[in-house]
């Protein structure tokens, strides 16, 4: 696995969906409808932080990561700098399951009303050591930034690209505030103490490590599109709560509804759904990100997997097994980088033909 996370708010178009999806959030993350690049949705806020679930299950945490994200900020007529809790930008976090520590942060800095820049700092406090400063960029304009960092107390490296051009890079740096190499999650900060509280816009974000043989380095400008169930598939063994079409029970977009759902209890029961075709022209698909919201109806626990069927009725289950063990809804996510039957890159025709769903495993 190399590609670990995708976000564009394309299929999580509600604060509740985002709060269920991320490890933790502060504030109330907002979705900018039709305000993302190309008129799609995006994250839009000035007072929230979203922390990804643990991205690495290795011990110690993996040391080298790449984060790509589209970014735009409004102009700001008043002075202001990030404080110790408000560091608009990207935060690289370690020991998520124990005591999360910010190893490194890419912080937004205001130069004047229309001009900003990025500052790379060890840790997340304003008093932290500044490692490097990028060239300036304009407000009110979308850019695609990609940052590659190696978290290490003495051999750290970093490179920040703006629309494919290197605007800040170096090596031999201390990029590990905790003194230990590696990190395992990301904080997406959209909060700052700039007077006037300008909105920050984040779109088409990806996170990857540098393991494996593909999706292990800069991907360039990426676009994320959300696809929703739009028809029942070949296998319908779960029970729809409202008694109608199964896909209608699970296709929530901008408003969550916990009343309509599909349920199952017996091991092996499967539900498959057809999905919308991508609306945009697609080239070089890096992977698909499946999101499933789940909760237990009664006491006890159940395990399930994502399951997929191609046009030739070949079935493949996802690599991850998930557990439902309480009545609180949460979202699990899984990235499938290659078409599972043939192991090749996903094509538009694959996405058009595949059915996706869930299966009880235990």
Q: What pLDDT shows up at residue 86?
A: 60
Asked if 53 and 22 touch (Cβ cutoff 8 Å), the reply is: yes
pLDDT band for 125, please (50, 70, 90 cuts).
Answer: low
All residues at 6 or more sequence positions from 213 whose CB lies less than 8 Å from its CB, including other chains? none
Q: What pLDDT shows up at residue 292?
A: 94
157 token code pair? 């490296």
- pLDDT at residue 157 tops 80: yes
Q: What pLDDT shows up at residue 79?
A: 54
122 token code pair? 């060890």
Question: Mean pLDDT over all residues of the chain?
Answer: 91
User: H or E stretch including 16?
Assistant: helix 15-21
What's the rounded mean pLDDT across residues 22-48? 92
The per-residue pLDDT for range 133-144, each reduced to its tens digit, is: 999 999 999 999
The per-residue pLDDT for range 165-176, each reduced to its tens digit, is: 999 999 999 999
CA pair distance 200, 244, nearest whole angstrom: 41
pLDDT band for 236, please (50, 70, 90 cuts).
Answer: very high
What's the rounded mean pLDDT across residues 195-217? 91
Q: What pLDDT shows up at residue 137?
A: 96
The per-residue pLDDT for range 75-99, each reduced to its tens digit, is: 876 655 544 456 689 999 999 988 8
CA pair distance 31, 29, nearest whole angstrom: 7
pTM for the model: 0.94
The per-residue pLDDT for range 40-53, each reduced to its tens digit, is: 999 999 889 999 99
288 token code pair? 């698909």
Asked if 215 and 2 touch (Cβ cutoff 8 Å), the reply is: yes
pLDDT band for 282, please (50, 70, 90 cuts).
Answer: confident
All residues at 6 or more sequence positions from 124 whose CB lies less than 8 Å from its CB, including other chains? 84, 87, 91, 102, 105, 177
- pLDDT at residue 217 tops 70: yes
Instruction: State the CB neighbour count (10 A cutoff) for residue 244.
Output: 11
Q: Which of 283, 176, 268 is nearest to 220 (CA)?
A: 283
In sequence order, the β-bridge partners of residue 162 are 145, 165
The per-residue pLDDT for range 60-79, each reduced to its tens digit, is: 789 999 999 999 998 876 65
Q: What pLDDT shows up at residue 280?
A: 79
Strand, helix or coil for residue 198: coil
Q: What pLDDT shows up at residue 343?
A: 92
52 token code pair? 């990804």
CA 52 to chain centre: 7
Q: What pLDDT shows up at residue 77?
A: 66
CA pair distance 84, 86, nearest whole angstrom: 6
What's the rounded mean pLDDT across residues 12-32? 93
The per-residue pLDDT for range 327-353, each reduced to its tens digit, is: 999 999 999 999 999 999 999 989 999
CA 335 to chain centre: 10
Q: What pLDDT shows up at residue 84?
A: 45
Q: What pLDDT shows up at residue 339?
A: 95
């Amino acid at each position: 696995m190399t590609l670990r996370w995708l976000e564009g708010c394309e299929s999580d178009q509600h604060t509740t969906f985002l709060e269920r999806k991320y490890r933790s959030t502060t504030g109330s993350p907002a979705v900018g409808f039709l305000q993302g690049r190309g008129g799609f949705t995006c994250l839009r806020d000035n007072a929230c932080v979203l922390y990804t679930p643990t991205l690495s299950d290795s011990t110690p945490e993996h040391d080298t990561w790449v984060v790509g994200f589209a970014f735009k900020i409004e102009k700001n007529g008043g002075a202001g700098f990030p404080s110790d809790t408000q560091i608009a930008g990207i935060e690289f976090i370690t020991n998520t399951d124990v005591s999360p520590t910010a190893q490194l942060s890419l912080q937004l800095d205001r130069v004047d009303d229309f001009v900003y820049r990025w500052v790379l700092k060890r840790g997340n406090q304003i008093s932290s050591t500044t490692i490097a400063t990028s060239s300036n960029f304009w407000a009110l304009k979308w850019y695609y930034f990609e940052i590659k960092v190696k978290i290490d107390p003495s051999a750290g490296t970093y490179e920040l690209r703006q629309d494919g051009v290197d605007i800040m890079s170096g090596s031999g740096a201390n990029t590990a505030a905790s003194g230990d190499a590696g990190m395992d999650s990301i904080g997406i900060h959209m909060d700052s103490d700039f007077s006037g509280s300008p909105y920050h816009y984040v779109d088409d974000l990806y996170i990857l490590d540098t393991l494996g043989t593909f999706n292990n380095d800069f991907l360039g400008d990426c676009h994320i599109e959300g696809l929703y169930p739009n028809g029942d598939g070949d296998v319908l063994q779960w029970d729809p709560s409202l008694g109608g079409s199964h896909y209608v029970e699970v296709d929530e977009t901008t408003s969550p509804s916990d009343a309509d759902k599909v349920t199952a209890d017996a091991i092996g029961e499967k539900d498959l759904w057809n999905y919308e075709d991508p609306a945009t022209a697609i080239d070089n698909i890096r992977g698909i990100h499946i999101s499933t919201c789940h909760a237990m109806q009664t006491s006890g626990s159940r395990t399930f997997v994502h399951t997929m069927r191609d046009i030739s009725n070949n079935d493949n289950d996802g690599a991850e097994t998930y557990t439902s063990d309480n009545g609180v809804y949460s979202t699990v996510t899984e990235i499938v980088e290659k078409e599972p039957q043939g192991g090749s890159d996903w094509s538009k025709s694959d996405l058009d033909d595949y059915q996706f769903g869930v299966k009880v495993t235990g």
